[in-house]
Structure 1
Amino acid sequence: MFATNGMLDPEDSVILLIDHQSGLFNTVRDIAIPDLRNYVIAIAKTATMLNIPVITTASVPDGPNGPLIPEVHKYAPHAQYVPRTGQINAWDNPLFVEAIEKTGRKTVIIAGTLTSVCMAFP
């Protein structure tokens, strides 16, 4: 275990990348899309470098929201994708919650595109 001095411990963390989808990126207005994409890539690369588990999910990837941006799994090839079966809120998907619990990690780092919808706690 890393000495964290109050910082995040990579050995006790899991990263959730929720709804980083090409179609949803087009709805973002408070940050430039290339910057948003680069931030997500940085998270994926950091997770890989620090061996932090990554769980991804997408809302209606075959519809207007589009697929996950390919850079997520390119730079975090160890990431586990959990499909959602119609749930908008990722927490409403039991398989998503189970995947998080199975990591045994206590620190959950969450990044999402439309956080008020895709990751509202139940």
Structure 2
Amino acid sequence: MSLVQVRTVPVEVHRIPLSELSVRPPRQEEISSVEASLRLDAIASAGFRVSRTKMGDLIKAGDVRLNWRSVSKTSVEVKAGDVISCSGKGRLEVRAAEMTRKEKYLVTLLRYV
């Protein structure tokens, strides 16, 4: 290898087998929340832990994507398997949405941090 320094810092380079490289698994956090509806603004605000009003502003500004498509309406319904990403906040996956006895939704989210 011909790399001997980076800027003013001397470095040594050694070749290692590809099998010795390890990939860190993504950090994940499972979130459960009870919501009145499956609207995008409600689910995303629960997953990213911001107020529903702020999430509505982010959605209208085009900073939120649902399944990698830009969304501008806060009232879009989400379903299990959908991926919600927000600029500067991360990404979350809707794992499950079940109806409770009081006709609300118990939503299980997986947030990648």
Q: By percentage of residues, which structure has more helix?
A: 1
TM-score range, shorter chain: under 0.3
The structure whose residues are more often strand, as a share, is 2
> TM-score normalized by structure 2?
0.26
Larger CA Rg, structure 1 vs 2: 2
